[in-house]
């Protein structure tokens, strides 16, 4: 694999980041980190969506400018992703000058091609969704089902994109490319939405919405979210309508994955695809729609007061690194379904998998190596025990990632650690040593530590700080590619001293971690 590219949705900056936002970024970062061990070049794009009526109204209520509000809240997202060790290659803001210029050029190109026309419109507008809704889109009370509010009746003259012109092409592409929309159970949902698709508004009158990118040829209009926000995926890579695209666009478009929430699948799999078709730009390879994160099995909502930020969880549990939260969030949902966060589930999951399983296995094995062999690895210890199982797991983990089964990948890694724990208990190196079977004892310890190198490399995407600590104790390069993994990864000679042995992950709510922290 030469290149791999992935994007997240860009977050609307009318509020601050919560764990729903964090879930998507963690998931995407884990996928990007995994492919860094397989591809020559990886590109991960994220960012913030900063225009629209909600920003305008909120800024006015706070007596600040829209740009000041965007600067403040965009920084909150950037700070949160830094806290969670999210390693994007580029963070785009839709208020960036280069983005605004290219969006204007895109609008003009679509206008020149006859894909955009001006039309007087009267319809129901949901400011939460930033879109017009038909009666069929509303619930039995006439409310937007996502925001539980009645949309407002809006009448104005806007520019419209001829989405209906591309309806058949979009349907054909979806049917011919089974992995274009993932998970598979979302495909029919999109096809159903395409049945009654209409042309979409791609501008707003400036008299109603001032905070947006002006239409270059008609300054009375501002460009609407579908061309503004969605175009970030190509403007962030250096797309240009004149064909003079930057190297990143040439190298990384079409992206392997757009990672988005299920609530915006329609806009990405229909609106965005129609716009790309009109521009003559190649389509993304796949769009993956994840589910929502519930809080104690209830939907997050400001009105119920159960919105939780990633920062508050880390502070509540006194976490010095985000690995525990990254691991839990990545494993909290199965294949695009909704997941759930609770304090109890969080503690139980990370304690079981990271502390009791992987962390404890490494710690006790290193202590036995020091106790029985003064921390030395001897050449005669090397053997092939568990090698086949390990090689099989590496392939299975890669296959899970190829199918966007991130929870499944984590499960495979923990299962390999389970196998190693069973191997230790079955072979009892402490007994072998007491019986004078020194070589056999050394072989057992080598087998486990050699396997722990592979586990560290596999779990690096999920827990980069834990894997780095494991690499320091086991003296190997955590950044090697999967193709460079060998049967035997440990060097002979002094591996570790007593002072170098320390737990790579402490139990949550142990005497050291979280004992004085309040619940989050």
Residues recognised as catalytic:
18, 21, 126, 129, 144, 147, 299, 302
CA 131 distance to own-chain centroid: 25
Establish whether the linkage from the previous residue to 267 is cis, with ω within 30° of 0: no
- Tell me the C-alpha distance between 222 and 209, whole Å: 7
- Tell me the C-alpha distance between 255 and 7, whole Å: 8
Q: What is the helix (H) or strand (E) element at residue 31, kind and residue range?
A: helix 19-36
Q: What is the helix (H) or strand (E) element at residue 311, kind and residue range?
A: helix 310-316
Contact of 154 with 208, CB cutoff 8 Å: yes
The three-class DSSP label of residue 92 is strand
Closest CA to 115 of 156, 157, 158, 165: 165
Q: What is the helix (H) or strand (E) element at residue 205, kind and residue range?
A: strand 203-205
Contact of 232 with 47, CB cutoff 8 Å: yes
Instruction: State the alpha helices, DSSP H only, in 376-520.
Output: 387-402, 406-427, 429-434, 438-459, 464-474
Distances in Å between the Cα of 468 and the Cα atoms of 98, 313, 395, 446, 504 are 37, 23, 22, 20, 9
Closest CA to 386 of 415, 344, 363, 355: 415
- Tell me the C-alpha distance between 255 and 4, whole Å: 7
- Tell me the C-alpha distance between 467 and 98, whole Å: 38
Contact of 79 with 40, CB cutoff 8 Å: no
Closest CA to 145 of 118, 126, 130: 126
The structure tokens listed for 227 are 């061309």
Contact of 415 with 459, CB cutoff 8 Å: no
Q: What is the helix (H) or strand (E) element at residue 367, kind and residue range?
A: helix 360-373
Closest CA to 77 of 122, 10, 32: 10
């Amino acid at each position: 694999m030469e290149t791999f590219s992935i994007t997240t949705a860009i977050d609307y900056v009318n509020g601050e980041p919560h764990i729903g936002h964090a879930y998507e970024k963690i998931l995407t970062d884990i996928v990007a980190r995994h492919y860094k061990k397989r591809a020559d070049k990886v590109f991960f794009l994220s960012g913030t969506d900063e225009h629209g009526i909600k920003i305008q109204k909120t800024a006015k209520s706070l007596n600040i400018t829209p740009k000041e509000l965007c600067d403040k809240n965009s920084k909150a997202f950037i700070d949160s992703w830094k806290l969670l060790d999210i390693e994007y290659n580029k963070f785009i803001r839709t208020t960036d000058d280069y983005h605004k210029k290219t969006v204007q050029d895109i609008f003009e190109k679509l206008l020149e091609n006859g894909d955009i026309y001006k039309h007087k419109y009267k319809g129901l507008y949901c400011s939460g969704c930033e879109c017009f809704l038909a009666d069929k889109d509303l619930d039995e009370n006439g409310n937007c089902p996502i925001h539980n509010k009645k949309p407002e009746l809006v009448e104005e003259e806007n520019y419209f994109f001829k989405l209906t012109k591309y309806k058949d092409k979009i349907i054909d592409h979806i049917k011919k490319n089974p992995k274009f929309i993932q998970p598979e159970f979302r495909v029919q949902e999109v096809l159903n939405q395409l049945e009654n698709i209409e042309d979409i508004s791609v501008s707003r009158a400036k008299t109603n919405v001032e905070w947006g990118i002006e239409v270059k040829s008609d300054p009375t209009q501002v460009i609407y979210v579908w061309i503004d926000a969605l175009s970030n995926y190509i403007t962030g890579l250096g797309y240009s309508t004149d064909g003079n695209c930057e190297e990143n666009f040439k190298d990384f478009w079409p992206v392997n994955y757009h990672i988005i929430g299920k609530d915006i699948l329609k806009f990405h799999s229909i609106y965005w695809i129609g716009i790309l078709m009109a521009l003559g730009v190649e389509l993304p390879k796949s769009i993956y729609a994840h589910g929502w994160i519930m809080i104690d099995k209830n939907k997050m909502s400001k009105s119920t007061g159960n919105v939780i930020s990633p920062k508050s969880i880390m502070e509540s549990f006194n976490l010095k690194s985000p690995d525990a939260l990254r691991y839990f969030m990545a494993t909290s949902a199965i294949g695009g379904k909704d997941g759930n966060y609770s304090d109890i589930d969080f503690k139980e999951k990370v304690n079981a998998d990271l502390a009791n399983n992987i962390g404890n296995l490494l710690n006790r094995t290193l202590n036995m190596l020091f106790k029985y062999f003064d921390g030395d690895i001897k050449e005669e210890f090397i053997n092939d025990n568990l090698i086949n199982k390990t090689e099989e797991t590496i392939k299975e983990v890669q296959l899970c990632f190829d199918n966007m089964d991130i929870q499944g990948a984590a499960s495979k890694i923990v299962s390999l650690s389970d196998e190693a724990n069973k191997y230790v208990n079955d072979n009892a190196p402490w007994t072998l040593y007491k019986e004078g079977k020194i070589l056999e004892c050394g072989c057992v310890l080598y087998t486990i530590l050699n396997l722990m190198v592979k586990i560290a490399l596999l779990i690096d995407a999920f827990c980069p700080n834990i894997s780095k600590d494991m690499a320091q104790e086991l003296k190997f390069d955590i950044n090697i590619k999967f193709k460079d993994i060998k049967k035997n990864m440990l060097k002979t000679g002094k591996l570790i001293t007593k002072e170098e042995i320390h737990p790579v992950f402490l139990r949550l709510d142990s005497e050291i971690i979280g004992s004085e922290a309040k619940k989050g």
